[in-house]
Amino acid sequence: MAEQPYGLIATFDTASGVYHAAETVRDAGYKNWDCITPYPVHGLDKAMGLKRSLVPVFSLAGGIGGVIAGVGLIYFTAAIDYKLILAGRPFFSPIPAIPVIVELGIALSAFSAVAGMIVLCRFPMLYHPVLKSDRIISALDDKYLIVIEACDPMFSPTRTKDLLEKLGGLDVKELEA
């Protein structure tokens, strides 16, 4: 079945090679493309023109949720469900509730940060054309890849290939979908 390829894939040997290539691809106006690197290359997000991650929003929401859960748990158990008279103290007092509220806030903001990462990365993603490529093993080791997807409006099998080759991309090939 002659399907349309997923895109073009090029290998780079050095971090600075992929970094400068990414700057050019970004400036050329491509949108649906990606760099595959074995570690977070410093500054590559800016070189690719990526926006700041939204993970903190998830984390903040989780933290607020945790604090509400902590207050709610203690308020419900001590002041609503079973009012226990303890030496005439108020049923709900915020001071001794602080440790539990803080810990629940910490726990939920941490879990939400991770959940946010998973959602934003669309994990678990057990199938992806890049994972099927035999280059992934070296790209998680010491090589760097640039993948430009065929669905990009700027994509052209010849011009994109020329661009990647001009930027120093090695072994520029079509990537099977």
Contacts with another protein by CB under 8 A lie at 14-16, 19-20, 22, 34-45, 48, 50, 52-53, 55-56, 59, 73-74, 77-78, 81-82, 84, 86, 89, 93, 96-97, 99-100, 102-104, 106-107, 109-111, 113-114, 116-118, 120-121, 123-128, 130-131, 136-137, 139-142
Closest CB 72 distance from another protein, rounded Å = 12
Per-residue burial over 33-63, b = 16 or more CB atoms within 10 Å of its CB, e = otherwise = bbbbbeeebeebeebbeeeeeebeebbeebb
The tokens of 112 are what?
């939400």
Cβ closest to another protein, residue 105 vs residue 160: 105
Closest CB 140 distance from another protein, rounded Å = 5
Identify which of 134, 136, 150, 130 has the alpha carbon closest to the alpha carbon of residue 5: 150
Q: How far apart are CA 69 and CA 104, in angstroms?
A: 7
Closest CB 51 distance from another protein, rounded Å = 8
Cβ closest to another protein, residue 107 vs residue 158: 107
Q: How far apart are CA 72 and CA 141, in angstroms?
A: 48
